[in-house]
Structure 1
Amino acid sequence: MAMSKSSNTYGRTSWEDSEFPILCPTCLGENPYVRMMKEKFGSECKICVRPFTTFRWCPGARMRFKKTEICQTCAKLKNVCQTCLLDLEYGLPIQVRDQALSIKDNIAKSDVNKEYFIQNAEKHLSATDSGVPGIGGSSSGKAHPPSDLLTKLARTTPYYRRNLPHICSFWVKGECKRGEECPYRHEKPTDPDDPLADQNIKDRYYGTNDPVADKLMRRAATLPRLDAPEDKSITTLYVGNIGEKMLEKELRDHFYQYGEIRSISIVSRQQCAFVTFANRMSAELAAEGAFNKLVIQNRRLVIRWGKSQGKQNVPGTSSVEGGAARFDPVPGLPRALPHPEELEHNFFNLPSTQNSYPSQFANPYSSGAPPPPNPNPNQMTSTASDSIGQPGIHYPSQDPTRLGAINKTRQT
């Protein structure tokens, strides 16, 4: 008579005995002195249905207790966390990772084939002590090069909100009497019609019908794009969120792969930098390769195109001629200073020619005769200004009598 599967002597040698679980930073928690309760062969794996060593711990204050759900063999086959079943490298569902990396999963799902597959996988794991790329046509995410889509969707820091307590069912009914001392959340539960409310651990592991993966794929389809500006002279990229400890060498070590760098300017006060390339093609390659996926010092950097430094229309200007903007006069302020050549006297010692003055600004003292003295310093005697209907000079420093230009007859 065949022995039952639940017998203590059947397959006991294949049970898993481990000293520490395989966890992601989010499930492990932010407490560096976390204490775990270990139970040898405490539960069966949700995938291969074999007893394994379970761990239970609290990841932090005001968090719920967590425990391992699958064995380490199944976790290594998919390179996932034993608790949340998310990829250890990107923190994303297996379905998203497999679609981005074009991984075909051929792991057996029936009971008999699954047990045979797990036995062969354990032999391979004991020999290599690493992931299992290529067993039965399956491969983990570590055996493939990184993907741009995964880099954009991945979180760069742990997401501890996943460790929050469950919703208090008594509070939902209006019967919770613990108040602030209640260890559960007093929040409105998720709508039952929401797809995220119906999640299955096996669907997540095998990468099929995962509502979280579907949500992330829809988000990936609507990710913003960085379009290059029409001005071909722009070769500068704006790099934001660099922090206070970012060095120029770290930015140069990353961006030099796209082409020759002309300059890198870091503005520590604004926590941003400007990377200028020698040509436009290098700048476009850098913008495409770093947008929404550049992470330095565990910080996701913001990449934008710089603004043109060329001619720009200034509001309030009437016209732009010769590259210089002519502004409209402001009421209540004195007029702008006249050009030195338009003045009656050459106070700036400018070289003048016989035909340097127009007819309306003819210099009456071009023959060499000295100008008559001005008895009143505050009285303006600018004939040229009066002839064109403009007021005199506004500043006393432009009065020849204030500068000692009064002609005194030399006595002999």
Structure 2
Amino acid sequence: MALSKSSNTYGRTSWEDSEFPILCPTCLGDNPYVRMMKEKFGSECKICVRPFTTFRWCPGARMRFKKTEICQTCAKLKNVCQTCLLDLEYGLPIQVRDQALNIKDNIAKSDVNKEYFIQNAEKQLSATDHGVPGAAGGPGKSHPPSDLLMKLARTAPYYRRNLPHICSFWVKGECKRGEECPYRHEKPTDPDDPLADQNIKDRYYGTNDPVAEKLMRRAATLPRLDAPEDKSITTLYVGNIGEKMLEKELRDHFYQYGEIRSITIVSRQQCAFVTYVTRSAAELAAEGTFNKLIIQNRRLVIRWGKSQGKQNIPGTTNTEAGARFEPVPGLPRALPHPEELEHNFFNLAPTTSAFPSPYPQFAPPSYPLMAPPPPNPTPNQPELPGFLAEGQSGIHYPSQDPTRLGAINKTRQT
């Protein structure tokens, strides 16, 4: 006759023992050398209430210690992190992921049904070769990617989530530790804010999650990329490509939308320009990649290219291409163009009203008009010429006077 199990060992065969936790990059931290404290059957799972092996560690400098909250079986059923309970693939709450993929939760919530469901789930998980099923509540099930998830997905770890809690003594004005206090000295969240009231079970089951509701409201107000009116534009601007992005990686993704004419990478600006042969292919690529293209763990920025005739010219604006700036008072005037200098500097060629000259007009130098000497000057008459008399025409200068500079007057010799 077999011995019956005592109360201390009842159900111990279903307790979970593991060697390493299932964590997301944010909870694990940026330190590659993490020292973890492992405790076998150290706590009960917050979902299935079974003892499991707990882990405790510090994710980085001036961060709070974190620990696993649920067992690995519950984490594998939802494909979530054992600590933050966010999806391992997208970094989003379960409620957002289930709504985007139209997943119906079939996990039992009552105590008796929950224990039976967990036992059957463990048998299925142990029978699979992969070990970690998809996020559908059943092993080995996968779903196609969703546009909403690609737009809201977090590509880089968010380490601010690991910051210490707010110091309650500092809020009361009684903290005497100063800079040595391991807690944050910041203003606490408004108690009326829905984000201040979060429940771990609501997050796991995907019901009444305030973080998920906030993300869904943000998704409803996401910007859209409208196609330009100029139908000749078939170029897309791709930003935030990084320094190690290759043309082959961009071509392997963008070729699915249509025939590509050229791909130009500007490494210094960390951007690229993808030009398609047809406008329809460019519109499909813009719609399929805007706010959801991730290559090398980088979310790429997608914009429409600009027309060659409407590009910005240095010294001009978009609305007035080619317009000149107003002169700054106190600065010397810029030198005119040789053609303008030839026609307009001495105001020889009058400007029309259709093409006004942008430079100030200068009057020609005015010299005194000298009158020619009389034909028979008297000895007492001064040789300095005077001004033109009435009825005389022509321009005469002192150098034109025949009585000066050694000129010989024939009338006197005769």
Q: Same fold (TM over 0.5)?
A: yes
Output one character per residue of 1:155-183: Cα deviation in whole Å (capped at 9) or x when no partner. 11111111101111111111111111111
1:93 is matched with: 93
Q: Which residue of 1 aligns with 2:109?
A: 109
2:48 pairs with 1:48: yes
Matches within 5 A, 1:321-336: 334=336
- 1:310 is paired with a residue of what secondary structure? helix
In the alignment, the residues of structure 1 paired with residue 140 and residue 282 of structure 2 have an alpha-carbon distance, to the nearest angstrom, of: 31
| Equivalent AA in structure 2 for residue 95 of structure 1 | Q
Deviations 1:368-403 (A, max 9, x none): xxxxxxxxxxxx9xxxx97x6689xxxxxxxxxxxx
Letter in 1 for 2:339: L
**How far 1:312 moved relative to its partner?**
7.7
The equivalent of 1:308 in structure 2 is 307
1:250: how far off? 1.6
Is the contact made by 2:124 and 2:139 (CA closer than 8 Å) also made in structure 1?
A: no
State the 1:133 CA deviation.
Answer: 5.6
Please give the alpha-carbon distance, in whole angstroms, between the structure 1 residues aligned to 2:323 and 2:191: 66
237-246 vs 10-19, which moves further? 237-246
| C-alpha distance in structure 2 between counterparts of 1:313 and 1:25, whole Å | 43
1:363 aligns with none
User: Per the alignment, in what secondary structure is the counterpart of residue 266 of structure 1?
Assistant: strand
1:7, distance to aligned residue in structure 2 (A): 2.2
**Structure 2 contact 128–139 (Cα < 8 Å) conserved:** no
For residues 11 and 154 of structure 1, what CA distance do their matches in structure 2 show? 40
DSSP-derived class of the 1:8 partner: coil
Task: Report the Cα offset of residue 253 of structure 1.
Answer: 1.5
Moved more, 138-147 or 269-278: 138-147
* Contact 1:79 1:140 (8 Å CA) reproduced: no
* Aligned residue type for 2:148: L
Specify the alignment match of 1:26 in structure 2: 26
How far apart, CA to CA, are the structure 2 residues paired with 1:313 and 1:41? 66
How many residues align? The count is 337
For residue 163 of structure 1, what is the aligned residue in structure 2? 162
Distance 1:80 1:59, change over 3 A: same
Return the alpha-carbon distance in structure 1 between the equivalents of residues 311 and 26 of structure 2: 49
Deviation at 1:333, TM superposition (A): 5.3
The alpha-carbon deviation at position 141 of structure 1 amounts to: 10
Report the residue type matching 2:117 in the other structure: F
1:213 aligns with 2:215: no
CA deviation after TM superposition for structure 1 residue 249, in Å: 1.7
Mean CA deviation greater in 239-248 or 171-180 = 239-248
- Offset, 1:310: 3.2
- Within 5 A, what are the aligned runs for 1:53-202? 53-129=53-129, 130-132=131-133, 138-139=137-138, 143-202=142-201
Q: Which amino acid aligns with 2:51?
A: P
Q: CA offset at residue 131 of structure 1?
A: 3.5
Structure 1 gap ranges (5+): 343-379, 392-412
Shift in Å at residue 245 of structure 1?
Answer: 2.0
AA matched with 2:277: A
Q: Which residue of 1 aligns with 2:339?
A: 337
CA deviations over 1:37-81 (Å, ceiling 9, x no partner): 111111110000011111111111100011110001000000000
Secondary structure class of the residue paired with 2:262: strand
Secondary structure of the residue aligned to 2:112 is helix
SS at match of 2:256: helix
Cα distance, 1:143 vs. partner? 1.1
CA distance, structure 2, for counterparts of residue 174 and residue 311 of structure 1 = 59
Residues 243-288 of structure 1 show CA distances to partners (whole Å, capped at 9, x for unaligned) of 2222222211211111111111112221111111101011011111
The aligned counterpart of 1:371 is: none
What is the distance in 2 between the residues matched to 1:198 and 1:313? 50
**Conserved 8 A contact 1:94-1:205:** yes
**8 A Cα contact 1:79 1:141, kept in partner:** no
The aligned amino acid for 2:186 is: E
Superposed displacement of residue 9, structure 1: 2.0
The percent of aligned pairs where both chains have the same amino acid is 86
**3-state DSSP of counterpart to 1:56:** strand
Distance 2:11 2:209 in 1: 32
Larger radius of gyration: 2
SS at match of 2:309: coil
Pairwise CA distance, 1:138? 3.2
Query: What does residue 248 of structure 2 align with?
Result: 249
1:237 counterpart residue number: 236
How many angstroms does 1:302 deviate by? Answer: 0.6
Deviation string, structure 1 residues 289-325 (Cα, Å, up to 9, x no partner): 11111112221111000011136898999xx9xxx99
Alpha-carbon RMSD: 3.2
In the superposition, relative to structure 1, how do residues 179 and 332 fare at CA in structure 2: closer, same or farther (>3 Å)? closer
**1:206-236 C-alpha deviation (Å, 9 max, x unpaired):** 0000000000000000111101111110000
Q: Distance in 2 between matches of 1:178 and 1:155?
A: 36
Structure 1 residues 280 and 248 mapped into 2: Cα distance closer, same or farther (>3 Å)? same
Code of the aligned partner of 1:98: D
Query: Secondary structure of the residue that 2:303 maps to in structure 1?
Result: strand
Residues 1:197 and 1:128: Cα distance change in structure 2 (over 3 Å): same
Distance in 2 between residues matched to 1:152 and 1:326, nearest whole Å? 41
TM-score, normalised to structure 1, is 0.75
Q: Secondary structure at the match of 1:220?
A: helix
Q: Please give the alpha-carbon distance, in whole angstroms, between the structure 2 residues aligned to 1:91 and 1:335.
A: 62
User: Matched residues in 2 for 1:115 and 1:326: separation?
Assistant: 77
3-state secondary structure, aligned to 2:308? coil
Aligned equivalents of 1:70, 1:6: Cα separation in 2? 26
The code of the aligned residue for 1:39 comes to E
Q: Distance in 2 between matches of 1:325 and 1:275?
A: 28
CA contact (8 A) 1:103 1:139 kept: no
The 2-side partners of 1:326 and 1:131 are apart by 64
Q: What letter corresponds to residue 45 of structure 1 in structure 2?
A: C
2:290 pairs with 1:291: yes
Using structure 2 for the length normalisation, give the TM-score.
0.75
- Displacement of 1:132: 4.4
